[in-house]
Amino acid sequence: MEDPVLNRNLEEIKELHTRWTQFRDFVLTAVKSRRATPQAEMKFLELKSRIAMLQDSFMATLEHSHKTGQNIMTIVGDCILLQRVANYNDAERQKFEFDWNECYILLTEQIAHLEEEKQRLAGISEAAFKARRRKERIVAAVYNFIHSAGLKWTIVAAIIVLIVYVIPAYFYSYSAFHSMPVIKMVSLPIANYVYRPFLARDYEYRSMDWVERNKGYVTNEIFPDARASGASDLTPEFFKMNVPRSLGIQPADVPQAIELFDRHIAMEVERFLTAGIDMQFYYILFASSDDAKAFIDLARKGLDSLPQATRDAILNSTHVRRRANFVAIGIGSHALMLNGHIWRKFKFKEQQRSILEPQ
């Protein structure tokens, strides 16, 4: 049988072989005569254009020596004009002939190879040939898929999902990773900046050390004339006696709020005095995200039951943010300053409203 693609490639490479010989004749004639006529320049340009067109078929059939095959266009590109070629010295001429001859030999070998392939196909049935071509296409497709960038990126993405989500969610928690000092340097940022924000918003902190903090933040950014004040009296007992009511929680719900608070894992406090205003901050790790939500829901419920003026007064003197089971509470007489301090210190979203406000 005959392969039309093979036949076409063979004819084009034979033509390239002829054109390549003509190319050498043009160059050597110009070198010998040391000049080039405008007519010769035009024909030389047309010849180079045709060689460039035939080069693709030649390269498509090559199974080896690709660098030598590509040198054809390198040599053609170096011979910009015949007039320039005419000024070649002996060393340049010898280099040209060496490079040209190397490509010529490769062309000759490729023609012989394709002729042999054509003769071999002549003795093969069309059905057998098509079966072989199908097999070659399948092998090529599998090879290209295995070596494709898409597969590599898919594998990388799968590994990232495995590390970031599957393993922590089903096999080995981030809490366990965080207990290993070396691994913690990697696992903690992944948990805080990837896993919790995008995959599990209520994934809980088990230590205040795990909470995101802005280490470069200084209090003077918000309170220019502030001075730290003693916070020793801001004890858990003080919190239970005062903060629930300051947040608007109804007296009937205070025991439940205290019960939720009593299960907390950790608490930090701060106090600042600025312009005579007492600013108190409570940073609490509740036992769970559900406990944190329940505590805040009690405050929202209480605020909804209050007169508008009382509700506004509480909202203007408090600011509350939550991230999973971490709750930051600011109490003072300037909600914007409380907000500014909390979001800067713990990397909350800027300008976000207090979680107690209607969402």
Instruction: State how beta strands 227-228 and 266-274 pair.
Output: antiparallel
The one-character DSSP state at 62 is -
Longest dimension (CA), the chain: 111
Buried b (16+ CB within 10 A) or exposed e, 213-233: eeeeeebeebbeebeeeebee
- Summarize pLDDT for 46-98 with one digit per residue, the tens: 999 999 999 888 888 887 888 888 889 999 998 988 888 888 999 999 999 99
CA distances from 331 to 33, 310, 341 (A): 97, 15, 11
Q: What is the pLDDT of residue 165?
A: 66
User: How would DSSP label each residue in 325-339?
Assistant: TEEEEEESS-HHHHH
Entry pTM:
0.57
- Report d(CA 137, CA 120) in Å as an integer: 20
Q: What is the mean pLDDT of the chain?
A: 86
HSE (CB half, 13 Å, CA atoms) of 177? 21
Low-confidence ranges of the chain (pLDDT < 70): 1, 125-129, 159-172, 220-228, 351, 359
- Summarize pLDDT for 259-293 with one digit per residue, the tens: 999 999 999 999 988 777 888 999 999 999 999 99
In 3D space, the residue among 57, 71, 77, 76 whose CA is nearest the CA of residue 105 turns out to be 71
Instruction: Write the CATH number of the domain with boundaries 4-125.
Output: 1.20.120
Helix (H) or strand (E) holding 269: strand 266-274
- Report d(CA 341, CA 333) in Å as an integer: 14
Every domain of the chain with CATH number 1.20.120 lies at 4-125
- Report d(CA 28, CA 40) in Å as an integer: 13
